[in-house]
Amino acid sequence: MKQYRFLISGGGTGGHIFPALAIAQKLKQEFPDAEFLFIGANGKMEMKRVPDAGFDIKGIDIYGISRDFSLKGITKNIKLPFILMSSMRKVKKIIKEFSPDIAIGVGGFASGPALRAAAALHIPTLIQEQNSFPGVTNKLLADQVQTICVAYDGLEKYFKKEKIVLTGNPVREIILNIHNKEKNAYSLFELNRKKKTLLVVGGSLGARSINETIAQNIEVIESMGLQLIWQTGELFFKTISPEILKKQNEQIKIMPFIKEMDKAYAIADFIISRAGAIAISELTIVGKPVILVPFPFAAEDHQTKNAKALSDHQAALFVQDKEVNEKLIPELKRLTEEVGLAAQLSQNIKTFAQPQAIDKIVTEIKKLTMPNA
């Protein structure tokens, strides 16, 4: 049997990295002897998360256009064309040495040079777009790739219709199977299984408005009888005052990043989250009552659209970012007190789940790598 080689590129945030890892892990199940290589951006979180998941990655020096109009930002933009040319030379060398059967892009800075180089070398290419409003990298790559896997209808205005395949967003295998993990999860987080647990996760990079509100209301959360698992993101964690960190105890757990998110989901009774596409995909499968706080500066405000798509169907509660300080804790209190509301949200959010998305994406990858299969 042929030993396949899969090149996967992209990252910058968990919204790009987690789909990439989900795709790689599913391909590894189907092709145990396959070889995998990721290409990421130096200094970005993929350079740590991908090796942690057991895959090789090579980094390139690449970044996006700076919107900072200071001398530093302008200088970065002047250098960018030369950085792009250098990164293209490097990824072409990497790709020639690795000789992949297909190149898969998930968005993010590194995805652009990697997929462009692969297309120039006549390697089959596929991109996976997570959002209803495509990222800049994927829009620029659209004409050069063979297949575009999407999670939302209506993307014909950005991509050629004949290239689009509606698959849904891939979710990590460990998230698809969170049942029967409660016992290990309570041990991992050292929490009391007799108490209700609140999980706060603002995304892989954190969410300042959510974090600041939680920091100001830890005692209030404790007074509700809740345990707390709080993922702050790496940047915010570094700014947390010693006074807040000292509040960690047997029912308050504060950490920059949760590696075993499946176990956090398994014991969560209530969740507060941003509304990125991958977060939404995971939350619909997890099926717990959730309060969504969209990041207001996402392209085309797509996180608000994501949140409203659920809240309009009584599948989640929705709090605007600018109202977090005023409304988040009262909404949490309402959720904990109204048993019927929590049950309704849990039941309704599950109807949006697309657990077969990863299988559909792998089918499209197979079509490009083994068209006669």
pLDDT band at 287 (very low <50, low <70, confident <90, very high): very high
Neighbour count for residue 340 (Cβ, 10 Å): 7
Q: In this structure, are 202 and 292 located in the same domain? A: yes
For residue 49, what are the contacts with CB-CB under 8 A and spacing of at least 6? 11, 14, 17, 21
Shared domain for 58 and 10, answered yes or no, is: yes
Backbone angles phi, psi at 231, to 5 degrees: -90, 115
Q: Do 154 and 182 fall into the same domain? A: no
Residue 363 pLDDT grade (very low, low, confident, very high; cuts 50, 70, 90): very high
Token pair for 114 = 């990697």
Write the pLDDT tens digit of every residue in 187-208: 999 999 999 999 999 866 668 9
Q: Two tokens at 46?
A: 């993929």
> What confidence score (pLDDT) does residue 234 get?
87
> Which of the pair, 289 or 72, is modelled with greater confidence?
289
Range of the domain at 25: 5-170+355-369
Separation of alpha carbons 86 and 366, rounded Å: 32
Read off the pLDDT of residues 102-127 as tens digits, 9 standing for 90 and up. Answer: 999 999 889 999 999 999 999 999 99
Question: Where is 317: in which H helix or E strand?
Answer: strand 317-318
Q: Is 241 exposed, middle or buried (0-12, 13-18, 19+ CB in 10 A)?
A: exposed
Supply the pLDDT for residue 12. 85
Distance spanning both ends of the chain, measured CA to CA: 12
**Tokens (6 digits) for 151:** 């999670």
Sheet holding 147-150, edge to edge: 57-60, 35-41, 5-9, 102-105, 125-129, 147-150, 164-166
Dihedral of CA atoms 30, 33, 38, 44 in degrees, nearest 10, equals: 80
**Is residue 152 domain-shared with residue 37, that is, in the same domain?**
yes
Task: Confirm if 335 and 317 have CB atoms less than 8 A apart.
Answer: yes
pLDDT at 72: 74
CA distance 292 to 285: 15
Share of the chain above pLDDT 90, in %: 74
Instruction: Indicate whether 73 and 112 sit together in one domain.
Output: yes
Determine contact, residues 188/217, Cβ cutoff 8 Å.
Answer: no
Pairing relation of β-strands 196-201 and 164-166? Answer: unpaired
Whether 275 shows a pLDDT value over 90: the answer reads yes
CATH number of the structural domain spanning residue 35: 3.40.50.2000
Pair 226, 324 in one domain: yes
| Segment 268-274 mean pLDDT | 97
d(CA 26, CA 170): 10
Q: What per-residue confidence (pLDDT) applies to 300?
A: 77
Answer yes or no: do 263 and 318 share one domain. Answer: yes
Contact by Cβ (8 Å): 345, 314: yes
Kindly report which listed range (197-211, 307-321, 347-361) carries the lowest average pLDDT score. Answer: 197-211
Examine the domain organization and report whether 162 and 13 are in the same domain: yes
Based on the fold, state whether residues 196 and 110 are members of the same structural domain: no
Q: Grade residue 83 by pLDDT with cuts at 50, 70 and 90.
A: confident
- The contacts of residue 343 (CB under 8 Å, 6+ apart) are none
Mean pLDDT in residue range 218-246 = 91
Alpha-carbon gap, residue 373 to 361, rounded angstroms: 16
Query: Are residues 39 and 188 both part of a single domain?
Result: no
Q: What pLDDT score was predicted for residue 37? A: 98
- Helix intervals (H) in the chain: 14-30, 46-52, 71-98, 111-120, 136-141, 173-176, 182-189, 208-216, 218-223, 234-239, 242-245, 261-267, 277-286, 302-311, 324-337, 339-349, 357-369
Mean pLDDT score, 325-333: 97
Instruction: Using the Cα atoms of residue 349, residue 269, residue 276 and residue 17 in order, give the sign of their dihedral.
Output: negative
Same domain, 149 and 186: no
User: CA angle at residue 77 from 68 to 84, to 5 degrees?
Assistant: 135
261 and 231 share a domain?
A: yes
Hey, how many other C-beta atoms are within 10 angstroms of the C-beta on 37? 22
Flag whether pLDDT at 299 surpasses 80: no
Counted domains in the chain:
2
